[in-house]
Amino acid sequence: MTKELVSRLQKGELNIGKIEQYGHGGDVWTAAKAFGGTAESFLDYSANINPLGPPACVIAALQQSGERLLHYPDPGHRKLKSFLAERLSIDEKRLLIGNGAAECMALVLLALKPRTVGIASPCFSEYELLSRQFDAQVVSMIGHAEQDYRVELERLFELVTHAELTFVGHPNNPTGVLYDPEVLMEAASLAEACGHTLVVDEAFIDFLDEDEAQSYSLIRLCETNPHLVILRSLTKFYAIPGLRLGYAAAHSGIIEGMRRKQVTWSVNALALAGGEALFDPMNRAEVEAYEQRTRALIGEERQWLRAQLQELGISTWPSKANFLLCRIEMPWTAARLQRALGERGILIRSCAMYEGLEDGHFRLAVKDRASNEKLVQLLRNVLEQSMQ
Residue 192 has pLDDT above 70, yes or no: yes
> pLDDT band for position 24 (50/70/90)?
confident
CATH number for the domain harbouring residue 370: 3.90.1150.10
Clarify whether residues 356 and 215 are in a common domain. Answer: no
Last residue of a domain, one of 262, 283, 304: 283
Last residue of a domain, one of 283, 315, 343: 283
Q: Check residue 31 and give its pLDDT.
A: 75
In this structure, of 2-16, 55-69, 117-131, 296-310, the range with the lowest mean pLDDT score is: 2-16
Tens of pLDDT, residue by residue over 139-177, are: 999 999 999 999 999 999 999 999 999 999 999 999 999
Q: Check residue 1 and give its pLDDT.
A: 34
Clarify whether residues 265 and 279 are in a common domain. Answer: yes
> pLDDT band for position 39 (50/70/90)?
confident
Clarify whether residues 164 and 176 are in a common domain. Answer: yes
Helices 126-133 and 100-112: angle between axes, nearest 10 degrees: 40
Residue 212 has pLDDT above 50, yes or no: yes
Q: Check residue 11 and give its pLDDT.
A: 38
Clarify whether residues 222 and 75 are in a common domain. Answer: yes
Clarify whether residues 264 and 295 are in a common domain. Answer: no
Residue 388 has pLDDT above 70, yes or no: no
> pLDDT band for position 10 (50/70/90)?
very low
Which residue, among 54, 60, 31, 57, has the nearest Cα to 44 in the 3D structure?
31
Torsion, CA 240, CA 238, CA 92, CA 276, rounded to 10: 70
Clarify whether residues 246 and 100 are in a common domain. Answer: yes
Clarify whether residues 210 and 296 are in a common domain. Answer: no
Clarify whether residues 40 and 99 are in a common domain. Answer: no
Residue type, 338: Q
Residue 215 has pLDDT above 60, yes or no: yes
Task: Calculate mean pLDDT across residues 358-364.
Answer: 96
Clarify whether residues 342 and 197 are in a common domain. Answer: no
Last residue of a domain, one of 223, 253, 283: 283
Tens of pLDDT, residue by residue over 292-335, are: 999 999 999 999 999 999 999 999 999 999 999 999 999 999 99
What share of the chain in percent tops pLDDT 90? 87
Clarify whether residues 46 and 70 are in a common domain. Answer: no
Clarify whether residues 135 and 146 are in a common domain. Answer: yes
Tens of pLDDT, residue by residue over 55-81, are: 999 999 999 999 999 999 999 999 999
What share of the chain in percent tops pLDDT 70? 94
Q: Check residue 12 and give its pLDDT.
A: 37
Task: Calculate mean pLDDT across residues 367-381.
Answer: 97
Query: What residues make up the domain containing 30?
Result: 3-53+286-386
Residue 4 has pLDDT above 90, yes or no: no
Task: Calculate mean pLDDT across residues 42-51.
Answer: 93
Rounded to two decimals, the pTM is 0.92
Tens of pLDDT, residue by residue over 250-293, are: 999 999 999 999 999 999 999 999 999 999 999 999 999 999 99
CATH number for the domain harbouring residue 269: 3.40.640.10
Q: Check residue 6 and give its pLDDT.
A: 34
Q: How many domains does the chain have?
A: 2
Clarify whether residues 106 and 221 are in a common domain. Answer: yes
